[in-house]
Amino acid sequence: MRVGMGYDVHKLVEGRDLILGGVKIPHTLGLLGHSDADVLLHAVMDALLGAAALGDIGKHFPDTDPQYKGISSIKLLEHVTKLIEEKGYIVENIDATIIAQKPKMRPYIEEMEKNIAAALHIDVSQVNVKATTEEGLGFTGTEQGISSQAICALTTIYESSVAVADSQAGCEGCAGCRKQS
């Protein structure tokens, strides 16, 4: 098993959409960044890349590259998924926290979890997103920015809890490599 952790932070500004977990959240401010500045997905991607020893999102999606200007972080997460799968890893779980004073995240978390699970080709039960405030303290508490932290566990098909040999459906019943026989 391999474990990775990720962290990201972006400044809140006027004139930008607030997108977290691939969900556009109504708010007077949005996050400033080269892409859509989705701090939640950026933290998740860094956790995954770290666990697989593949560097970080800056290595794969540099903010100096115009092809990533305004890009959806869901698309970037889908690319990270391909990299993880090519290395033979299976995502066991993701646990992430959004740190923001406002807006309240609870109404959007279920959709965020679904978006992350779909991009990673895993079940939504393997993704947990939560949110907290900093009680008015620090840059997130004073609404200058939003940050996120994530941790993940990766395994390989050989160490996974997936029952391949016992599956009556054969390889098609395996959630591991996702290849069809």
CA 77 to CA 81: how far, in whole Å?
6
Q: Is 139 annotated as a binding residue?
A: yes
CB of 176 closer than 8 Å to CB of 88: no
Q: Is 109 annotated as a binding residue?
A: no
Q: Is 42 annotated as a binding residue?
A: yes
Q: Is 27 annotated as a binding residue?
A: no
Q: Is 80 annotated as a binding residue?
A: no
Q: Is 10 annotated as a binding residue?
A: yes
Closest CA to 159 of 1, 48, 53: 1
Q: Is 140 annotated as a binding residue?
A: no
Q: Is 61 annotated as a binding residue?
A: yes
Task: Give the number of other CB atoms < 10 A from CB of residue 92.
Answer: 18
Q: Is 8 annotated as a binding residue?
A: yes
Q: Is 64 annotated as a binding residue?
A: yes
Q: Is 9 annotated as a binding residue?
A: yes
Q: Is 135 annotated as a binding residue?
A: yes
- Using CB atoms within 10 Å of the CB of residue 98, give its burial: 0 to 12 exposed, 13 to 18 middle, 19+ buried: buried
Q: Is 56 annotated as a binding residue?
A: yes
> Dihedral through CA 128, CA 133, CA 138, CA 140, nearest 10?
70
Q: Is 79 annotated as a binding residue?
A: no
Q: Is 50 annotated as a binding residue?
A: no
Q: Is 62 annotated as a binding residue?
A: yes
Q: Is 159 annotated as a binding residue?
A: no
**Known binding residues:** 8-10, 34-35, 42, 56-58, 61-65, 132-135, 139
**Known binding residues for a divalent metal cation:** 8, 10, 42
